[in-house]
A = this chain, B = another copy of it.
Amino acid sequence: MIKVAIAEDHQSLIDGIDLLLKYEEDITLVGTANDGKALLELIQEKKPDVILMDIKMPKIDGITATKSITAQHPNMGVIAFSMFDQEDAIQQMIAAGAKGYLLKNSPLEEVLTAIKAVHKGDTFFDKAIDPSYIAVQDNISSGKSLLSKSEREILTLIGQGKTTSEIAAIRFTAVSTVEKHRKNMIRKLGLSGKGELLRYALEKKYDF
């Protein structure tokens, strides 16, 4: 019996998947969450074998949640279930530890196939995904990014509307340190002008 959890902000889609799973004798849906935070709480209790994970969700996004889950529960299989078919999205989910990636544009039945494959220890990728996006897994583990860890963290906080002094308080640094990080990011990203960093933070969050 495969225990499955679903994280997806659109309840209607969860309900559809629920209908699909209802007649699968070897799969049981043990819980659902409409945001990343609720999911993390749910899995502590329900201990699912496989998790169907949306990317774009309130509170904690799917990539972040996947990282957390695969770190704490390496035996739980995470399958991304997303509208995003871009390379960056796919690579980030794989880097986060996802064992599968399904597109919402594909038939719902694929979900069953993916769940069974991932539970068996295999990986499963939607046929509509360009295989080259998956093949570059070797580069993913190096996790290289244009921005440093601190820069990415600050960018996230900027996207949340925090002022530089608020960010400094959150990170226990001087305001000038945060400003320097901002300048570094602006330089690296080739931006210029007031508000461009905020624009970048907001437009790139889900712009894979």
Cβ-neighbour of A19 out of B9, B11, B20, B194 (below 8 A): B20
A193 within 8 A of B: yes
Interchain nearest-CB distance for A131 vs B (Å): 20
A24 within 8 A of B: no
Interchain nearest-CB distance for A106 vs B (Å): 6
Cβ contact within 8 Å between A194 and B16? no
Cβ contact within 8 Å between B194 and A11? no
A74 within 8 A of B: no
Residue of B nearest to A23 (CB): B19
A198 within 8 A of B: yes
> With A and B bound together, what is the CA distance between A106 and B198 in angstroms?
32
Cβ contact within 8 Å between A15 and B16? yes
A46 within 8 A of B: no
A111 within 8 A of B: yes
Residue of B nearest to A196 (CB): B161
- What is the oligomeric copy number? 2
A38 within 8 A of B: no
A29 within 8 A of B: no
> Could you say which interface size class chain A belongs to?
20 to 34
Contacts A83-B10, A202-B203; is A15 near B107 (CB within 8 Å)? yes
> With A and B bound together, what is the CA distance between A163 and B12 in angstroms?
40
Cβ-neighbour of A161 out of B34, B107, B110, B195 (below 8 A): B195
Cβ contact within 8 Å between B109 and A194? no
A108 within 8 A of B: yes
Interchain nearest-CB distance for A6 vs B (Å): 12
Instruction: Give the residues in chain B near A161, CB-CB below 8 Å.
Output: 193, 195-196, 199
A-B contact pairs, 21 of them (CB 8 A): A10-B83, A11-B104, A11-B105, A11-B108, A12-B13, A12-B16, A12-B104, A12-B107, A12-B110, A13-B16, A15-B16, A15-B20, A15-B108, A16-B20, A16-B108, A34-B105, A161-B196, A163-B193, A198-B199, A198-B202, A202-B203
